[in-house]
């Protein structure tokens, strides 16, 4: 038994057929402005929360989950009934991006904007902006202006 009480958060797809839980805390949170996120989500930015894969457990409707991977880096998952996006497995990084919009009870607290050189929506919130990705994720780690 650890000193801190483990936190648990509930998530679901758009229709509710798929339900999942997250335990603990994410490794990182922020906004991605890359073209892949924009094209796949049909939105101007992606609000991401990155977790260790064992933090995520699908509790209902696993048979509704389908996926697509354009590159080995990103295995994208959604609900085949409603089309609602769930998460993307970034296997080479050992992380899973659970979309902030799919976990309404979780206090999303972004710390960084990544791939800001590709932005279509400038967000002047004072948070650090990276040209591409942090160095530990294969990027340059170079900061850029808002």
Binding site for Zn ion (CB under 5 A): 13, 15, 17, 32, 34, 37, 79, 81-82, 84
Taking the complex as a whole, the smallest distance from the CB of residue 74 to Zn ion amounts, in Å, to: 8
Residue 96, classified by CB atoms within 10 Å of its CB into exposed (0-12), middle (13-18) or buried (19+), is buried
Strand ranges inside 33-84, DSSP E: 46-51, 56-60, 65-71, 74-79
Say if residues 89 and 82 touch (Cβ distance below 8 Å): no
What is each CA distance from 77 to 29, 83, 90, 145, in whole angstroms?
A: 19, 9, 11, 32
- Residue 106 phi, psi (nearest 5): -95, 135
Say if residues 65 and 86 touch (Cβ distance below 8 Å): yes
**Of 23 and 40, which CB lies nearer to Zn ion in the complex structure?**
40
Taking the complex as a whole, the smallest distance from the CB of residue 2 to Zn ion amounts, in Å, to: 33
**Of 13 and 130, which CB lies nearer to Zn ion in the complex structure?**
13
**Of 13 and 22, which CB lies nearer to Zn ion in the complex structure?**
13
**Of 24 and 43, which CB lies nearer to Zn ion in the complex structure?**
43
Taking the complex as a whole, the smallest distance from the CB of residue 81 to Zn ion amounts, in Å, to: 5
């Amino acid at each position: 038994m650890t000193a801190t009480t483990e936190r648990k958060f509930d998530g679901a797809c758009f229709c509710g057929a798929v339900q999942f839980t997250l335990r603990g805390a994410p490794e990182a949170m922020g906004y991605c402005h890359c073209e892949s996120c924009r094209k796949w989500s049909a939105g101007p930015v992606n609000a991401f929360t990155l977790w260790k894969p064992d933090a995520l457990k699908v509790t209902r409707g696993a048979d509704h989950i389908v996926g697509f991977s354009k590159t080995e880096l990103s295995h994208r998952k959604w609900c085949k009934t409603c089309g609602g996006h769930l998460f993307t497995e970034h296997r080479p990084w050992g992380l899973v991006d659970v979309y902030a919009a799919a976990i309404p009870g979780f206090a999303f607290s972004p710390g960084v904007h990544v791939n800001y050189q590709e932005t279509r929506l400038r967000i002047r919130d004072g948070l650090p902006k990276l040209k591409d990705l942090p160095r530990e994720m294969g990027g340059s780690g170079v900061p850029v202006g808002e």
